[in-house]
Amino acid sequence: MRFPWGSTVRVSTLKWPDRPHWNFAGSYLGADAHGDWIGYPTGSTFERPGASYVSPVDQVTLVPTDGAETLLWVVNL
């Protein structure tokens, strides 16, 4: 992935396997041995057909470099 730190990253997911699902934007946080990290601050909007969600807490997503499933952590500090 590798973007400059803080770059806006637009995420669009699919389901079943070609139907639009969740869409949202985050900030690129950097990369480490596990993969690329994307952050979503409190108030981020997540949308999919028929639904919208505003996050009440900060969240991070790991996009693994080895092809493993993507992980999402919700952080409530």
Q: What is the mean pLDDT of the chain?
A: 85
Task: Give the model's pLDDT for residue 20.
Answer: 84
For residue 23 the two structure tokens come to: 């869409």
Of 49, 24, 28, whose CA–CA distance to 37 is shortest?
28
Per-residue pLDDT tens for 14-60?
Answer: 888 788 888 999 999 999 988 889 999 999 999 999 999 999 999 99
For residue 44, the cross-strand partners are none
Q: What is the CA 49 to chain-centroid distance, rounded?
A: 17
